Amino acid sequence: MAEIGFYHLTRTALPEALARLLDRTLQAGQRALVLCPDAARLKALDTALWACPEPAWLPHGTAADGDAGLQPIWLSTEPEAANGARFLFLVDGANTNRNGEFDRVFDLFDGKDPDQVTAARARWLAAKDGGHGLTYWKQGPRGWEKGG
């Protein structure tokens, strides 16, 4: 079973929050798969991660770039860890029934979007029913705060 963390975005946009979490992932010596709901969002996130000021550089790629095995961060619309990732990042409502194939899953959702909040609650219940370990994180004034 995977450890699934739900990350409730309330203070920053997805690209900024994702970039910081991905940086921590790389610092921990891990690889990441970022699962996007569609090709348009994948392209937008790819562009945003290259332009992100902090961290200054996040090495990542997509199928358009190729060489998945060389990419520590892989952006995809498919839930397959082509780069050998053990950490999965779900963004913009992307979902998969393959969470158990990863050590950790990060489910990031926009707290200002009622539809995303409702969908995240449904994913929480499904993950709980699936026997996964769950944690809830919300952005606070000093960073991520663990909820109850």
pLDDT in tens, 30-63: 999 999 999 999 999 999 999 988 887 899 999 9
- Under a CB-based contact definition with an 8 Å cutoff, are residues 30 and 88 in contact? no
For the chain, the average pLDDT equals: 94
pLDDT of residue 56: 75
How far is CA 67 from each of CA 36, 61, 80, 125, rounded to the nearest angstrom? 19, 8, 14, 36
Q: To 5 degrees, how large is the angle CA 136–CA 134–CA 8?
A: 25
Quick check: 115 pLDDT over 80? yes
Q: Please report the sign of the dihedral spanned by the C-alpha atoms of residue 17, residue 75, residue 94, residue 126.
A: negative
Q: What is the mean pLDDT of residues 87-92?
A: 97
Residue 29 has a pLDDT of 97
Which residues touch 101 (CB under 8 Å, ≥6 apart)?
A: 2, 81
User: Hey, what amino acid is at 118?
Assistant: T
Look at residue 83 and tell me whether its pLDDT is greater than 90.
yes
User: What integer pLDDT is reported at residue 126 of this predicted model?
Assistant: 94
**Beta bridge mates, 8:** 109, 138
Region 82-97: mean pLDDT is 96
Cα–Cα distance, 122 to 111 (Å, whole number): 14
Is residue 31 a contact partner of residue 102, using CB atoms and an 8 Å limit?
A: no
Average pLDDT over residues 4-8: 97
Residue 148: pLDDT band by 50, 70, 90 thresholds?
low
Amino acid at 107: D
